[in-house]
Amino acid sequence: MLDQFTVNVEALAISTGIVAGTILVAFIVNRLFRRFIRRNSLLIRNDPTNYVFLRHALTGIIYVVGFSWAVYSLPSLRAVANSLLAGAGILAVAVGFASQHALSNIISGIFIVIFKPFGVNDRLRFQNGLQGVVEDITLRHVVIRDFENRRILIPNSVISEEVIINADFGDDTICKFLEIDISYDSDIDLARAIMQEEALRHPLRIDGRTPEQIQAGRPEITVRVIALGEYYVRMRAYIWAKNNADAFELGCDLMETIKKRFDREGIEIPFPYRTIVQKEPKPKEGNLMEGQ
C-alpha cells in the first residue's frame, strides 16, 4: 500500500514537473521570438509575419506535446488516454464537428502566411469602413490596431473572405486625391495655380512622374476640374506621397493652407444658400366685411 502511494506521488511529481517545464519552455520560446523580431526588423525587411505566426505555432506545439507527456506520465490517466485512443475514430468525428471553426481559422491563418495578402505592420481598410494596422497574426485571429489605439480581433476564416484594401501591398507610394470646391464666380486658373503652389511647398510630397512624363513636360502636380455641381466647381489635385501615413498628413495640411490662400486671394468655397419666403395669411371673409 505504501509502495503504491509512493509510486503515485512520484508520478504526480513527474507530471507536475513536466507541466511546469512545458510552461517555462513555451514562455522562453515566446520571449526569444519577440526579442528577435524586435531587434532584427531590418534583417527581416520589416515583414515579421512569418516569424510571428511561427512563434504562435511553436508555442502551441510545445503545449500540446508537454501536456500529452504529462498525461502519459500518470498511470491512472494513461489508461484513460489509451481508452480514448482506442475509440479515436468516433472521437475524431466528434472533435471534427466541435472544432470545425477552430480548424478553419488555423487553415486560413496558414494560407494568410503562405500567400501574404497582408502582413504585420500593413495598413488595411475593409468594406465596412474599418481600417487600421495589422499588429499580430495568430493561429485563430488577426489583431488590428485602429487609429484610436483600439485592438480589433478578426477570425482568420472571416478576414480571408473579406475584400481588403492594403495600402502597403507591393508599392507603398500613394497618389493622394485632394478635392476642393470653388464657386462658379471664382477664377479656375487662379485656384489651380494656388493648389499647385501649396502642394509643391509641402515637404512630404514626392515626384510621382515617370521619366517619359517628365520629358513630355507634364507638371508635377496636376489639378483638374472633375465635376460641375449645383452650386460648385469641384477641383482635384493629384499629389504623390511616400506612404499612406504621409499622404494623410499631407492632405490635412494642404486643406488648411489652401483654404487660407483662397481667403486671401478671393477664391470662394461655396455652400448652399436657402431663401425662406414667409407669406402673410389671407384675411378671412368675415373680417373683410367688418372692415368695409
Q: Is the dihedral of CA 72, 74, 75, 78 positive or negative?
A: negative
More confident residue, 64 or 6: 64
For the domain bounded by 174-265, which CATH number is listed?
Answer: 3.30.70.100
Is it the case that residue 244 has pLDDT exceeding 90?
no
What is the mean predicted confidence (pLDDT) over 64-72? 71
The pLDDT value given to residue 2 = 46
Left (φ > 0), alpha (ψ -120 to 50) or beta: where does 46 sit?
left
The pLDDT value given to residue 290 = 55
CATH topology classification for 123-166: SH3 type barrels. (2.30.30)
CA-based R_g, the chain, Å: 33
Domain residue extents for the chain:
2-86, 123-166, 174-265
Hey, how many other C-beta atoms are within 10 angstroms of the C-beta on 45?
A: 8
Q: Poorest-confidence range of 37-46, 192-201, 245-254, 278-287?
A: 37-46
* SS3 call for 228: strand
Whether the Cβ atoms of residue 104 and residue 97 lie closer than 8 Å to each other: no
Is it the case that residue 118 has pLDDT exceeding 90?
no
Alpha-helical (H) ranges within 40-99 are: 49-72, 75-86, 88-98
The pLDDT value given to residue 8 = 58
Burial 101-121 (b: 16+ CB within 10 A, else e): eeebbbebbeebbeeeebbbe
- DSSP element (H, E) containing 154: strand 151-155
The pLDDT value given to residue 17 = 73
What is the mean predicted confidence (pLDDT) over 30-51? 63
Q: Do domains 123-166 and 174-265 have the same CATH topology?
A: no
pTM over 0.85: no
More confident residue, 44 or 200: 200
More confident residue, 42 or 160: 160
Angle 269-274-280 (CA atoms, 0-180°, nearest 5)? 160
* SS3 call for 115: helix
Is it the case that residue 227 has pLDDT exceeding 90?
yes
Is it the case that residue 184 has pLDDT exceeding 90?
yes
Is it the case that residue 124 has pLDDT exceeding 80?
yes
Question: Taking all residues of the chain, what is their mean pLDDT, rounded to a whole number?
Answer: 80
Is it the case that residue 210 has pLDDT exceeding 70?
yes
DSSP 283: P
